[in-house]
Structures are given as C-alpha cells and as structure tokens.
Amino acid sequence: MAKKVITFGEVMMRLSPPGYETFSQANSFELVYGGGEANVAISLAYLGMTAAHVTRFPDNGLGKAATQFLRKHWLATDHIIYGGSMIGKYFLEKGAVHRPSQVIYERAGSAFSEIETGMIDWEAILSGADCFHWTGITPAISAGAARCCLEAMQMANEMGIWVSGDINSRENMWNYGKTVQEAMPELVSHCDLVITSSYGIHEMFGLGDKDMPFKDSAALLMDRFPRIKKVIGKTRTTLSASHHQIKGHLWDGETCQGSETLNITHIVDRVGTGDAFAAGVIYGLLHYEDDTEALDFAVAACALKHTIPGDVNLVSLQQVLSLKDGNTSGAIRR
C-alpha cells in the first residue's frame, strides 16, 4: 500500500508577468496556484504516494478553481473547508542572471487566515496517515492558523503519526501579536523531523550562532526538543539568479550525513524548490533505510524543481531516481 501524507496550509493564487518581464512591463499575468505545504503534497503524489491537503478557501469561483487545481494534481480534497470571502494572492517577478526575483503578498484577511480550531476533524483526516507535514509559514499567518496547526500535531502525536516540520522563518509575516520566537517552540516540540538551518535555529530559538556548523546547531535543537529524531538542512550557493549549487545535510543525533553537490546551471523557476526538497526528504525517509540515500533523493528532487515553471515539482519517481543515480545529461528519453 502506498505511503500516505497529510499537509495543512494556505493555497494562494500566484500571478506572474509573462516570461522574465518586470512588473512595470506586464500587460497580463500568468496564473497558477501554490502554497508551501500543498506543493509538498503534490510533489509526493507525483512520486506515487497518497496525499491529501487540508485548507480553507472562499466559497466562490476562485475557491472552487483552486480546489480543482489540487484535484488535477492527484490530491484528495475531501477535507477542504469553505468560508470567508477572499483567496490569498502573491505576485512574482521572476529574476534572471544578476536580477533577483521579487514577491509581493496579498494574504491579509484571506479565508485561510480566518480558520479556527474545531473547524477540522483531525482524527478522521489523519486516520491511516504515515506523515503529517507543516511549515513555519502557516502559524505566521494568524493566531487561528497557529492553533489549528498545533491541534493537528497534537492529534498526530496521539495517533502515533510521524510529524514533519519545515520550520522556515518569515519574520515579516508575524503580525498578529505573537513573534516567531514565542510561537515556534511549542509547535516544534511535537515534531519527529525538522527541516531548517543554523541561521533558522539561532533566529527562532536563540540556540548557537547563525554561522555555526549545521551538525552543531542541529545537536542543540535536538537537545532542546528531545522528540526530534532527525534535523535536515540544505546549503545553497548562489552564483547568479540562474546558476545555483545545492547540497543536503542530515543530523540523526550521532552522525552528520552529507549529499552530493548538484550544479544547477539554467534555472527556469526558483519558487517551490524548498518544498520539493521537503517532499524528497519525506519520500526518502519513508522509503529508504539508509539516510544518505534519502538525502540524495531529496537533493535530486529539489534540483529537478528548478527546471519546472510554477510552484510545484511535477516530476515522476523515475526522473528523480535517474538524477539521483548520476544521470545529469538531460538527454531525450525515447
């Protein structure tokens, strides 16, 4: 039976000028949907796992269109709830060469930001799941979203379901009265797996130093939160907006594993690559006994996302395995 993952978070409309045009050049915008957690679920569905995303949309045409987008990409949407009047949006101007990408958010007052505990039957949703995944973006959106995220993790812990958290810090999003430093410790205490960085560990928990070696920061995090079994991070070297190098790291409490470095020379779309890495981590750890194999799988999945327009890593298991096994030629497959 296929492994099953449940994700929770906001799904937004992404509006981008065509190609690499700037906002001031644009006469139209290309529309897709995306959100960190849903991106992970879709990536895992394309890798052959059973995946469902839980969110809240407005009960209008845009909410239904976003639901259909998730269904189109193999996600179960039975537990989506509807209410409110607005879907969150963000505008992306894609960078090239030495010009960086730019993002403008419009998500205040969205249907998801008004979610509250008790709206979702987490016990029913998590039944039969192998993993529940969340990111640090969700609790930053609103107090209600943070409480719902905690509610889900508490239920997952009770049911013996593995909890994965990509605890990326978005300081400028925490605008409802709590800081990331105040909210994150309680949430992270329920995690079995954490994806983060030395910088994030220092900024969110005051542990170590932002420039500390990853294994040392990860060890401090595991000492603070003993439920955590693995801490995983990714190093990105940016040579230009369209040329990056990536490498993964995994600390299991005793040893630090490192992946091969992959060279990405012609980036098509940078957005969603961290979500592709998280999806690769989840798939790898659920399917490989060797952590190094799992980490190499995650880096290969992340690298392939750089070639896919849009937020989501729409690649197959065979494509990831091929790159993981060293096939970097990009030759036509017939």
- CATH code of the domain containing 29: 3.40.1190.20
- Give the integer Cα–Cα distance in Å for 66 and 28: 20
251: in domain: yes
327: in domain: no
332: in domain: no
122: in domain: yes
Q: Low-confidence residues of the chain, pLDDT below 50?
A: 332, 334
**Structural domain boundaries enclosing 269:** 4-322
Residue 103 corresponds to which amino acid? Answer: V
pLDDT value at residue 334: 41
Spell out the long-range contacts of 227-231 with Cβ–Cβ below 8 A and sequence spacing 24 or more.
Answer: 227/189, 227/190, 227/191, 227/192, 228/188, 228/191, 228/192, 228/193, 228/194, 229/192, 229/193, 229/253, 230/192, 230/193, 230/194, 230/285, 230/291, 231/193, 231/194, 231/195, 231/196
45: in domain: yes
329: in domain: no
328: in domain: no
271: in domain: yes
pLDDT value at residue 332: 41
- Give the integer Cα–Cα distance in Å for 265 and 97: 11
Total tally of structural domains belonging to the chain = 1
